[in-house]
Amino acid sequence: MSEPRPDKLPHGIQNAFLFAAFNALSFQIVLGSPMVLYAKSLGASATVLGIIAGMMPLLVISQIPAANYINRIGYKRFVYAGWGTRVLFIFAIALVPLAGVLLDSGNQLALLIGLLFCFNLSRGISSCAWLPWITGLVPATVRGKYLASDAAVMNSASFVAILLSGFALGAAPHPWQFAALFAFSAVAGAISLGFLKKIPDVPTPENEPEGRGRVPWLDMLRFPPFWKLMRTVVAWSVAYGGMTAFTVAFLKARAGMPEGKVLLVSSVAFLGGLSSLWFVGSRLDRLGSKPVITVSLIVWMAVMAGWMALAGGAVPVELPAVVVLQFLMGLLAALVGMAANRLAMAIIPVMGRNHFFALYSVLGSVTLGLAPIGWGVLIDVVGDRHAQWLGLDWNRYTVFFAAAALAFGVTLVLARRLQEPEAVSMEALLKELLIQSPQKFLLRFWPRN
């Protein structure tokens, strides 16, 4: 395989984008809002919904032992085996809604959680090879461009998946409709494997030990740039964990939206994620990750204030307000995710790359998995209690959004201390996004003599 040009995406990378598209069509159904709504139809409490939402990131902890075997097996074979196994579990999940003739809702819910555990375990094991693979494949100078394009593709496919789910389920879905939707997820996952197999492989580091000795996890964590990134990612995971699940639960339980409408509204978040390509795109490589993360967290706090106003009754729960908040959530989540991944690619050294990325993924993802469970317990503990204060009705969802806003504030403080010498200032980023980019856009349509 020829060496990729440092200013161009490598040959064959289009297969990675096609894999991302079909993978998103699959996992957004089996791990996203449709699964939350199906579990809720079986009588799942907020705590159980938190367990379902947190299971995928929580089981990323399996990357720690799995990282020892990547060099022995190879990046592509490692990912392909895990992704293929999880597709088999999706086909099994598609049968659960049809098991109602044999099992009551409680047993169906238990079976569903068991299959989701196996699905997420196989995903967690295999995903530890993905970031090292992409880091070796994509040149450093265009990683921001790749991540922005990947986010755009994933959000486009996710938008289609949730839109399709909304139309498929309608207002009062029957079990067979959920079964058909999960079967579609399995087929899309199977198609994604074909494109995964076509992504160019890269050799694993030859001089890196295969992992029978002791791995210096604490020394790796204490590496100053990595430590500052990790504490920011962990704080972000606490703040963001469960946000999708509990906004869906709020719209269903408090706002009384039917399932189909909830999914259609939720799909707007992926349009926000798609628009991240316009907001930063290839400019992420030039502007840097730190200012993008910082500005995004400031806007996140404003978004939480908006949800608090809806939950507290200060603003009526009407479609325009919900759509704007969903759009911003999708945009901001995409910006923080791609900026954090790019910064990790930049500061993680080649030696020990597999284990560094495993630690990066595990700490953030385990926190992202525990957070929804904690938020779910908080929501259940508050229960039906409510009080009037500061012009708001403080109920379970008002408390949740307020606590999340506080967590985003803590993350902002930590993000300001990230180490990225080549990053521009936050002021320069705002000037680029709010002044220079709109001017360039308008000049395209300015009449010329």
**Could you please report the per-residue DSSP string of 256-285?**
---HHHHHHHHTHHHHHHHHHHHHTTTHHH
User: 217 Cβ partners below 8 Å, 6+ apart?
Assistant: 355, 359
Residue-range domains of the chain with CATH = 14-203+212-444 (1.20.1250.20)
Count the Cβ atoms, other than its own, within 10 Å of residue 395. Answer: 20
What is the reported pLDDT for 5? 54
- What is the reported pTM? 0.73
For 260-290, give one letter per residue: b (16+ CB within 10 A) or e.
bbbbbbbbbbbbbbbbbbebbbebbbebbbb
Running along the chain, 449 residues long, what does each successive block of 10 average in pLDDT?
A: 60 91 91 84 82 80 82 88 92 92 88 92 86 86 82 87 83 87 95 94 67 70 91 94 84 76 83 78 74 92 95 87 93 90 85 82 84 87 86 90 96 91 55 50 43
Alpha carbons within 13 A on the beta-carbon side of 270: 23
What is the reported pLDDT for 281? 60
What is the reported pLDDT for 441? 37
Judge whether 38 and 177 are in contact, CB under 8 Å.
no
What is the reported pLDDT for 430? 53
Alpha carbons within 13 A on the beta-carbon side of 127: 20
3-state secondary structure of 393: strand
Spacing of C-alpha 242 from chain mean position: 11
What is the reported pLDDT for 440? 47
